[in-house]
Each structure stands twice: as structure tokens, then as C-alpha cells.
Amino acid sequence: MSHPHPELQKPPRLPKNGLRVVGLGGLGEIGRNMTVFEHHGKLLIVDCGVLFPEEHQPGIDVILPDFSWIRDRLDSVVGLVLTHGHEDHIGGVPYLLRERADIPVIGSRLTLALIREKLKEHRIVPKLHEVAEGDRKPYGPFDLEFLAVNHSIPDGLAVGIRTSAGTVLHTGDFKMDQFPLDRRITDLRGFARLGEEGVDLFLTDSTNAEVPGFTMSERDLAPAIEQVFRTAPRRIIVSSFASHVHRIQQVLDTSHAHGRKVAFVGRSMVRNMGVAQELGYLKVPKGLIVPLDQLEKLPAHKATLVCTGSQGEPMAALARMANRDHKIRVGEGDTILMASSAVPGNENAISGLINNLSRWGAQVVHKGNAKVHVSGHASAGELVYCYNIVKPRNVMPVHGEWRHLKANADLAVATGVPEDHVVIAEDGVVVDLVDGHAKIVGKVRAGNVYVDAQTVGGATEATLKDRRTLAEEGVVTVLAIVDADTGTLADPPDFLVRGFVHEPNAFDPAVQVIEKTLARAAAEGIGDPQQLEQMLSREIGRWAHRAFRRSPLIIPLVIDA
Ligand SMILES: [Zn+2]
């Protein structure tokens, strides 16, 4: 198996007959999926998503792929294909289009409707190219064919990319539900047809590669959902991803059958369901949906609420209800149906949410105590079928942490793909397909780009390190009035302490450290306040670590006397 070497360098020039593939996100992590293809001097991008921050990234809204590798060549981008409308595939689009607004954005009807709404908020009018399964259309040297795939949002597409260097099949996110609500199944006949023609490189979804067997059908949730509606004595509050049209369809249908009215709660839920209903993806019986204020006037056993917040996001409707920070008061007899599973990293937040909701007397039905969720991704069994059907010459697993990529690679090898034709690449690793063989040839920059409120890239790893230090160790500000000529303190220094357990007078012995440091600086002819601050920060930090076994953030302020 081909693994990236830790000291990979800048890649060589791409041979004329070669196809270059670089994942700028989604390889080695779940989220911010973005794959760039280069051929004959042109670039094709598949997806541009965001990654949601974890606890060790405080204050960050979302994380973007690093565009620096393509920034100087945005004019060569012939198109941006969006495989489906999930945030981890489309969330980064506004930030890419800020750099070049007229990149053709190619996707299915629902995907484009969702991105159009999102771009409105960013005041960007995109160039949208709507495609559907079965369409074939060239973009520069890339001859694209779109195939239907089934996933946890409707209207997903896989993309076949024919080039003079070979043919690529990129699945996007997919699974193989044989009985989806919309009867639109993953086009295995199309996969087979492309396989027959010859697939030189197969990029396939690794998210569930470690899960044995087959992902259950969305329809298998019907009995558990029915059970909730049959037994709930009062209100039912359902939380789900705002894009899971089929899950919400099941909730609407069951509500209707039990004579309950439904209100959508939360901006993204209202917006997305509006779009899905308008385009016919969500089928709503007449009179079923009512505004929230009307629903509140109905008897509790006639009411269903559908809201966001299934991941414990603090600002989403469900968490605010649990914290009594929402006009909807959860109480005794309410039933909460959490119709989703935890995205890795969110388990603690979700557990806290379940505790809070239960504390108010609500009955919480979740994945842990009822069959109310199935995954949106193909399990190992489905992936093996795909390898056997497509018979790819080379395989590059995508969408997953290292363990998922490795598990998917192992499946490819088990079906007979030669080991040296299976490439495990992390973000930024450059893979060239030349003469029918895909190989790792180098690495480009692909770090985290942090969005922090209005700034993109302003917050860096150093910022996050400071924030973590502030959170865990506290901060000590040292105000020193210095006579730079003599290198002496004009007054005793002041210590201001926040989030640090020791009193300011615990720093009295540090005065000697400051005096020594200033004397040394004067001897070396250093009088610049900024340089003095750096020296003081280092020396006081060392002293504090010796004295307290803690490393607070030290902020010296040197004022010239
Ligand atoms: Zn997805």
C-alpha cells in the first residue's frame, strides 16, 4: 500500500499525459471535503466543505480547506462540482467564491438550491450549472458524467471524470439503501458500465469502512418512530439535521397519520424545509405544517415540533430549550425524539443535552435506546460490492480519518486491487495518475484555515494555543515602568492576575527576576520596550513554572519612565 512519507516535498511537474489529484480536505479527518484534479493545465474541484471545530479549538466557527495551493491559479478552474448539499461538502463555497465569484458551480437541483440560499447570506450571486443523473458534459479537459447516489440528503451525485490520462469515479458520500423513500437508488448499473469501460482511479467514501455488513434502510426506522407517536402522551419534539429531508418526511407522515400538526423551529430548519418543499423533495399533506404560535394553541397531544440541535450545538433550538433559554418550555410528559447519531467529537455535548432534557421531565428517545437512526454512509459490505462491480485499477479512499481510510484500503485489497495500486493520502498529499498507475509524488500546503466571526485566517494555531493557555492556566499581566538607560525599575512592578489561583503578592519574588532581566538587557544594549517585553515574558514564565508548576499566559507591559 502506498503511504505518504513524512518528509514529502513539493511535487515535480505533472507529466503532460498525467492527472494530478490533491485532497485539500477530508483526508485524515471527517469534514471540509475538497478534492482538486489537475489535467492539461486546468483544474476541476469536487466539493468545498467546512469542518466543525473541536473543544481544543475554542472560539472558532468553522474550519476551511487551505486554498493556497490553487490561489494563484483560480483562473484555471473550469468548474466546482458539488456532490450533495451537506455542510462538509458545500460550507466552504462562499469563501472560495469570494476569491473568484464566477467559478461555474455544478450540482443537482436540490444541492444548487441550498447553496444559492447560503450564498445569498454572503451576498454572492453564483454561476450555477444544474445537472442531473445521466448527464454528461465536458468542462475543459474533464469530461464529466453524473450518477445518482443515495445518501442522508436527497439528490446526491457521484461523478465520473474522463480525461486523456484515464477515468476517475468519485462517489461523494453514498450508501446503497435498496428501498429509499424517493426510490432513487445508487446507480450501480452506471458504476458497472463505467467499470466495464475502465475506471483508472476510484475515490470512495470511507466514513463507515470499519462498520461490517450493510447499512440498514431508512424505512427500517418506521416502527420505532411509529412507537413514539403511538405512546407519547403530550408534545413530540423531534431533532434532526436540517438537511435530512427523508427522515423529516417520515416524521411528517407519521404525525399526519396520528392527527398531529407540525411546526418547524430554527432558522436553518425552516429555510431548508421550505426549499425542499418548494422543489418537491418534501411532500407535505395540506394543512399539516402550521406556524409555531398556532401550534402552541393546540392541545399538547396534537403537536409535533421539528427542530435542529441534534448534535448538542449550544445555539441550536434543542439546546436552548434544554437550558430554558427558548420560548418553548420542555416539561413533564413531553417526548424528545433525537433522530440522528453523534458526529464524532459531539458525544459529551449530546449526553449533557439528554441529561438536561430529562431533568425537566421529558422522555428522551435516542439512538442509544431505540432504533431511530441509520447512517448515511455505505458500510464495508456495500464498499466491497462497489469494488467488485467497478474493478478499479487504482483506489484512493476519501472522506475519513486515517483509520477509516486504512479500513477502506484494506477492503479494496481484499477484493483484488493490487496493494501498490491503493493510495492512502492525507490532506495535501499529491497523487499523480500516469500511465495507468496512481502514485504519491509530493505534498502541498493544506493546513487549517480558521473562520473566527468576521475573519478568515486571522486566528492561527498560535492564537488557539494562547486561548487554551488562557482557559487552562489563566493570565498574569505585569506592568513595569523602566528606565531604559539604566535598566532599572522606576517603580515596583504591578501584577494583575485572572484565572490564576495565586494572589498577586505571590509574585513578589518575581521582582528579582525582572530586575535581573532588565540589568542583563541594559548590559547588552537592549532598550526597545517590545524586546524587553519578550525577554520578561520568557523569564517570568520560567520562574512561574518553577514556583507554581503552572504556565499562565504572561503579558508584560513595559513603559519607558
Ligand atoms: Zn454527506
Task: Render pLDDT for 35-76 as a digit per residue (tens, 0 to 9).
Answer: 999 999 999 999 999 998 888 888 888 999 999 999 999 999
Name the percent of the chain lying above pLDDT 90: 76
Name the percent of the chain lying above pLDDT 70: 99
For cell 407519521, name the residue: 254
Whole-number Å distance, alpha carbon 241 to ligand 1 midpoint, is: 11
For cell 485499477, name the residue: 393
458-462: long-range contacts at Cβ-Cβ below 8 A with a sequence spacing of 24 or more?
459/59, 459/60
Whole-number Å distance, alpha carbon 173 to ligand 1 midpoint, is: 5
Whole-number Å distance, alpha carbon 174 to ligand 1 midpoint, is: 8
Q: Name the packing angle between helices 245-257 and 222-231 (round to 10°).
A: 40
Interval 277-332: pLDDT, tens = 999 999 999 999 999 999 999 999 999 999 998 787 777 889 899 988 898 999 99
Interval 139-161: pLDDT, tens = 999 999 999 999 999 999 999 99
> Which pLDDT score is estimated for 454?
83
Residue 197 CB: number of other CB atoms within 10 A? 10
CA–CA distance from 453 to each of 33, 53, 199, 378 (Å)? 21, 13, 43, 35
Whole-number Å distance, alpha carbon 88 to ligand 1 midpoint, is: 7
> 338: Cβ–Cβ under 8 A, 6 or more apart, which residues?
239, 310, 318, 350, 354, 364, 365, 366, 367, 372
Please determine, for residue 6, whether its predicted confidence score (pLDDT) is greater than 80: no
For residues 398 and 204, the answer to whether their CB atoms sit within 8 Å is: yes
> Which pLDDT score is estimated for 375?
94
Angstrom distance (rounded) from CA 369 to CA 367: 6
> 355: Cβ–Cβ under 8 A, 6 or more apart, which residues?
none
Between 281 and 483, where is the model more confident? Answer: 281
Please tell me the least confidently modeled range out of 213-227, 285-299, 403-417, 473-487.
473-487
Whole-number Å distance, alpha carbon 119 to ligand 1 midpoint, is: 19
> Which pLDDT score is estimated for 5?
66
pLDDT band at 366 (very low <50, low <70, confident <90, very high): very high
Strand extents, DSSP E, 275-342: 303-307, 335-338
Burial class (CB in 10 A: 0-12, 13-18, 19+), 192: middle
| Helices within 64-221 (DSSP H only) | 68-71, 87-90, 93-97, 109-121, 188-197
Whole-number Å distance, alpha carbon 333 to ligand 1 midpoint, is: 34
For the record, the C-alpha cell of 483 comes out as 528606565
Whole-number Å distance, alpha carbon 170 to ligand 1 midpoint, is: 13
Write down the mean pLDDT value for the chain: 93
Interval 322-360: pLDDT, tens = 988 898 999 999 999 998 887 777 888 899 999 999 999
Whole-number Å distance, alpha carbon 112 to ligand 1 midpoint, is: 15
Please determine, for residue 200, whether its predicted confidence score (pLDDT) is greater than 70: yes
Whole-number Å distance, alpha carbon 33 to ligand 1 midpoint, is: 10
Q: What angle do CA 272, 371, 296 make, to 5 degrees?
A: 50
Whole-number Å distance, alpha carbon 86 to ligand 1 midpoint, is: 5
Interval 517-549: pLDDT, tens = 998 988 888 888 899 999 999 999 999 999 989
Whole-number Å distance, alpha carbon 340 to ligand 1 midpoint, is: 13
Whole-number Å distance, alpha carbon 488 to ligand 1 midpoint, is: 62
Mean pLDDT within 423-431: 97
Whole-number Å distance, alpha carbon 377 to ligand 1 midpoint, is: 8
Please determine, for residue 4, whether its predicted confidence score (pLDDT) is greater than 70: no
Mean pLDDT within 446-473: 90
> Which pLDDT score is estimated for 469?
87
Whole-number Å distance, alpha carbon 478 to ligand 1 midpoint, is: 50
